[in-house]
Each structure stands twice: as C-alpha cells, then as structure tokens.
C-alpha cells in the first residue's frame, strides 16, 4: 500500500537546484503514447 501511494510522488518529476553555476534543472516524466502487446492467450492449450 505504501508503494502504491508513493507512485504519484515519483511520477511528478524532480527539481535539482544548483546543478551548475546559475543553472537549476527540473525534469518531468510524461507518457510517450499507447503501447500494445500481442501475446498468445491460450498457448498452453495449443501444445500437441
């Protein structure tokens, strides 16, 4: 439960102050798009 509650905190990104002289960094995690996986749903039944 603790891990599941911490996922939104991990996906929001992070802020790094003082990465260099006069440079602060902020990184955001954003989804790239839709992913599909084609898997055999009845593979064990197809074994002769």
Nearest-angstrom CA–CA distance, 42 and 48:
13
- pTM for this predicted structure: 0.35
pLDDT tens for each residue of 11-29? 777 777 877 788 888 887 7
DSSP 3-state of 16: strand
Mean of pLDDT over the chain: 77
Reported confidence tier of residue 7, pLDDT bands at 50, 70, 90? confident
CA–CA gap between residue 45 and residue 23 (Å, rounded):
59
């Amino acid at each position: 439960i603790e891990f599941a509650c911490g996922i939104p905190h991990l996906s929001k990104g992070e802020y790094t102050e003082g990465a260099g002289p006069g440079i602060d960094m902020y990184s955001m995690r954003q989804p790239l798009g839709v992913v599909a996986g084609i898997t055999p749903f009845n593979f064990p039944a197809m074994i002769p």
